[in-house]
Amino acid sequence: MNRFGLAAAALLLAGIAALLFLRPESTGTGAPADRGVPGDPAERTGALVDQIVFTQESDVGKVTGLIEAGTHHVFGQGVTSTTVFQRLRDSERAAYDLAFGSSMELTVNPAGPHFASGELNPFYVREVREALNWLINRRYVAEELYGGLAVPRFLPLNTVFPDYARLAEAARALELRYQHDPVRAERVIQREMERLGATREDGRWVYQGQPVRVSVLIRTEDARKRVGDYVANLMEDLGFRVERLYRTAEEASRIWIAGDPHAGRWHLYTGGWISTVINRDLAENFSYYYTPRGRPDPLWQVYTPDPEFDEAADRLQRRDYESWDEREALMTRALELAMQDSVRVWVADQLNVLPHAREVELAVDLAGGISGSRLWPYTIRFRDRVGGRVVFAVPNLLTEPWNPVAGSNWIFDTMIMRALGDIELIPDPFTGLYWPQRIERAELTVQEGVPVVRSHDWLSLETAERIEVPEDTWIDWDGAAGRFVTVAERHPEGVTARTRTRVLYEPGYLERQWHDGSPVSLADMVLPWILSFERADENSALFDPSHVPTFEVFQRHFRGWRIVSQDPLVIEIYSDQIYPDAETIVAARTPSASPWHTLALGIRAEAAGDLAFSSLKADRERLTWMSLVAGPSLAILDRHLDAALHDGFVPFPEALADFVGADEAGARFRALADWREARGHFWVGDGPFYLHSVHALERTLVLRRFEDFPDRSDKWLRFTRPAIPELELDGPMVVEAGAAAEFTLRATFDGEPYPLDDIENVQYLLFDGVGSLVRRGSPEADGPGSWRLRLEPDTIAALGTGANSLEFAVISRRVALPSFASQVFATLPAPSAARNGGSR
């Protein structure tokens, strides 16, 4: 990692010991309504609390007071206010965790060159979008507008994730190329505006007799309000007539996500993103953020990346490379092209402070925080008791419609959905590697030469010169005939794959129940696969053009899957797509289950032209965007439920005949009807909590413990505290030329030396006074949690005279984020010879 990357990451991570480990333990007792009973988590199954009430609270200034008053226990959004942070740090009843996966960017509307109204959109021009990178002073944003709880970000790579370190040299070169240069930005924008036919009159841009308008859509709930005003001021200074649209998350989503970009309601949006896990492979970021394959929403469908960029993004998404060197070259070129494209202008990576009551404990993802953690529902508890009620505040609820196909992607909606559904593999909140949840083990075979590594022993990794796909494997779907297509039919000459993933599900996987009492079956795994093909078929009533780009990527790497055995359940999946980590390949390939009867209602409603799964299809066909939990969709789904009960509806009956019993359809829809009557919605899952009630007008949701959840409650409690190394660096502050210097680095956790076996790598970087890298390497281990570095006299001499910096990066196998320590020391000239004077 170069000095800029190291310094940026260090700024985010420095002080973790003080922030994370020096807080006093819980002493609070909670309100009487929250009380559980003393008990042993190992003697209970499922969730460790009985009920969670989600409420909407967008004013972060109230957070500490609400927690101290005992009315709320957890706040789902990361806080970036230094004022609130200080209050949390000083509070006796409030505590906090830290996360590093949030980022802020400017989302740019590239539709054009004219909107539907005839107005000019300057940001249709790639060069104008690119110039925004020179216009924005990222360091000012990070240090002033975010109060130091952020670092500058230029690229579609999180600055504390592994890929940033791998690509440090290329990243630094681009950061220097796009550093703050407002004169250059104005020069480029002026040139391109004149090419579009605009003129500058009295300092203001005019096009066809009208001022050129720029609408800045500004989120109001956090520091993005200040950033939005800053950007709006910059645009006004450039001569544009600026319209400031202050909106909450829900209000903004109707404009930039659900709205037609050609309508011209906005030009720039203060976007925010969160990586819900420590993403060890960011190769998909280019497709996700810059191409129509990223999301089905209308904005993404107007993206028209340069063909070279589109090809590079596509290859990286499919992992179409043969070596680490080829991957690095592709990533480097994609970074360059992403900066030129700039439909997203990355501004800052944030340090998020995550408030909660001291008496509450839960697993927090080091990237995604609370809202991104897959493990929060499995671990949330009161420290001193089992059971009780937790009140959970989030800045917005039900921002977009909930459906399991193309519903809301807002983090606070998906956070709740994760508590309602189980998952086959769960990402480690500290490393990003996956652990089995509903599978017993996996066997992965990759083609020889494919760059893949394995870290955990729950899976095996083997190589093969050639991986033949069996003839009976399902590789396609015939929508007209309503049946699966095998490899033997589609490829009589045979087909090979780069990977074969054999997943052995846990015993009893198909003996579980959904929340409404329906038994889990193979139909719950097969129907979602069929639906993916149907939504890409232009001849299907379920066709959705927004799904096509994503499906085309899938189809290029997918080589089929087959059910090897039903008891025990074993499934094989063949694909040409790879990931650097074997655990990620297994997680990406493993089929999951979704209750086929609730999915069938949505299929029936969309096929009838009553509802649409995606926002794009709903907008184009003037339909209601489907929600299974609230709004006008419910009455429509009621009607389709009555019809399904009457005729025993099974979608694609010939294909599902082997997986749906004779009386299963009737039993499932009766169970769903009872669920709807009791709960008021159609959301059925299999997670540790079920959705007890939805209060859309009041913006409140109630979750209750699913008593039939199979796992012991203490299964994941080992992940409630990250073992981040605490570093201490000792060494001289002044070194004279001609002398050597010795430095000692110590790593501890909970006051104990950090085990050497848990350390993956320790590196040092030595910089001279002008920031040039003089030497890098690895220090010598000097006992448990201790390393020694000796800088020889010739190395000291090479530094010259002045201030220098020695920086260490420690990578643990127990957490993916590196820890840093640094020391500044001065080098001085050697003392001159004896100063005794001679005779005159």
368 and 501 together in one domain: no
Residues 344-371, buried b or exposed e (16+ Cβ, 10 A)? bbbbbbbbbbbbbbbbbbbbbbbbbbbb
156 and 285 together in one domain: yes
Amino acid at 303: Y
226 and 81 together in one domain: no
Q: If pLDDT is split at 50, 70 and 90, which confidence band does 33 have?
A: very low
Residue 318 has pLDDT above 70, yes or no: yes
115 and 245 together in one domain: yes
Among 327, 348, 369, identify where a domain stops: 348
Residue 835 included in any domain: no
Residue 26 has pLDDT above 50, yes or no: no
Assign residue 272 the CATH number of its domain.
Answer: 3.10.105.10
Residue 707 has pLDDT above 80, yes or no: yes
d(CA 523, CA 527): 6
In this predicted structure, what is the pLDDT of residue 13? 44
d(CA 19, CA 655): 56
Name which residue leads in pLDDT, 234 or 817: 234
d(CA 723, CA 729): 19
Number of domains in the chain: 4
**What is the mean pLDDT of the segment spanning 374-395?**
95
Residue 317 included in any domain: yes
Among 415, 430, 446, identify where a domain stops: 415
Paired tokens of 581: 């980590």
Among 293, 325, 348, identify where a domain stops: 348
Percent of the chain whose predicted confidence (pLDDT) is above 90? 73
Burial bucket for residue 752 (CB in 10 Å: 0-12, 13-18, 19+): exposed
In this predicted structure, what is the pLDDT of residue 27? 29
Tallying the residues shown for the chain, one arrives at 840
Q: If pLDDT is split at 50, 70 and 90, which confidence band does 48 have?
A: very high
83 and 203 together in one domain: no
562 and 459 together in one domain: yes
In this predicted structure, what is the pLDDT of residue 496? 97
pLDDT tens for 87-141 read 998 999 999 988 888 899 999 999 999 999 999 999 999 999 999 999 999 999 9
DSSP state of 45: B
In this predicted structure, what is the pLDDT of residue 836? 45
Paired tokens of 671: 């169970």
Q: Which of 60-64, 422-426, 644-648, 665-669 has the lowest mean pLDDT?
A: 60-64
Q: What are phi and psi of 103, to 5 degrees?
A: -145, 160
In this predicted structure, what is the pLDDT of residue 40? 84
407 and 441 together in one domain: no
In this predicted structure, what is the pLDDT of residue 549? 86
Residue 5 included in any domain: no
Tell which residue, 611, 217, 219, has the closest CA to residue 402. 611
DSSP state of 91: -
DSSP β-bridge partners for residue 56: 394
Residue 9 included in any domain: no
Assign residue 753 the CATH number of its domain.
Answer: 2.60.40.1220
Residue 692 included in any domain: no
280 and 369 together in one domain: no
Range of the domain at 779: 726-828
Q: Which of 389-393, 628-632, 763-767 has the lowest mean pLDDT?
A: 763-767
pLDDT tens for 487-508 read 999 999 999 999 999 999 999 9
476 and 624 together in one domain: yes
Contacts of 258 (CB under 8 A, 6+ apart): 297, 298, 400, 615, 619, 625
Cα-based torsion angle of the residue sequence 409, 414, 415, 418 in order, rounded to the nearest 10 degrees: -150
408 and 515 together in one domain: no
In this predicted structure, what is the pLDDT of residue 100? 85
d(CA 190, CA 788): 56
CA distance to 219, 267, 590, 657, per residue, from 439 (Å): 41, 46, 9, 25
Name which residue leads in pLDDT, 413 or 9: 413
CA distance to 7, 762, 799, per residue, from 825 (Å): 16, 20, 11
Residue 7 included in any domain: no
Question: If DSSP codes are grouped into helix, strand and coil, which group holds residue 737?
Answer: coil
Q: Phi/psi zone of residue 169: left (φ > 0), alpha (ψ -120 to 50 degrees), beta?
A: alpha
pLDDT tens for 640-684 read 999 999 999 999 999 999 999 889 999 999 999 999 999 999 999
In this predicted structure, what is the pLDDT of residue 167? 85
Residue 30 has pLDDT above 60, yes or no: no
**Helices vs strands, H then E, count in the chain:** 26, 37
Residue 228 has pLDDT above 80, yes or no: yes
Q: Which of 28-32, 309-313, 525-529, 784-788 has the lowest mean pLDDT?
A: 28-32
Tokens 């950061």, located at residue: 175
Asked if 423 contacts 439 with a C-beta cutoff of 8 angstroms, the reply is no
pLDDT tens for 581-609 read 999 999 999 999 999 999 999 999 999 99
Percent of the chain whose predicted confidence (pLDDT) is above 70? 95
Residue 7 has pLDDT above 80, yes or no: no
Contacts of 262 (CB under 8 A, 6+ apart): 111, 115, 116, 302
Asked if 50 contacts 381 with a C-beta cutoff of 8 angstroms, the reply is no
In this predicted structure, what is the pLDDT of residue 35? 61
Asked if 33 contacts 50 with a C-beta cutoff of 8 angstroms, the reply is no
190 and 66 together in one domain: no
Residue 195 included in any domain: yes
Residue 12 included in any domain: no
In this predicted structure, what is the pLDDT of residue 63? 87
Asked if 432 contacts 280 with a C-beta cutoff of 8 angstroms, the reply is yes
In this predicted structure, what is the pLDDT of residue 357? 95
Residue 321 has pLDDT above 70, yes or no: yes
CA distance to 284, 326, 562, per residue, from 312 (Å): 10, 11, 31
Q: If pLDDT is split at 50, 70 and 90, which confidence band does 36 have?
A: low
CA distance to 593, 760, 762, 788, 808, per residue, from 778 (Å): 47, 12, 6, 10, 9
Q: If pLDDT is split at 50, 70 and 90, which confidence band does 832 have?
A: low
Average pLDDT, the chain: 90
44 and 146 together in one domain: no
d(CA 766, CA 799): 9
Residue 226 has pLDDT above 60, yes or no: yes
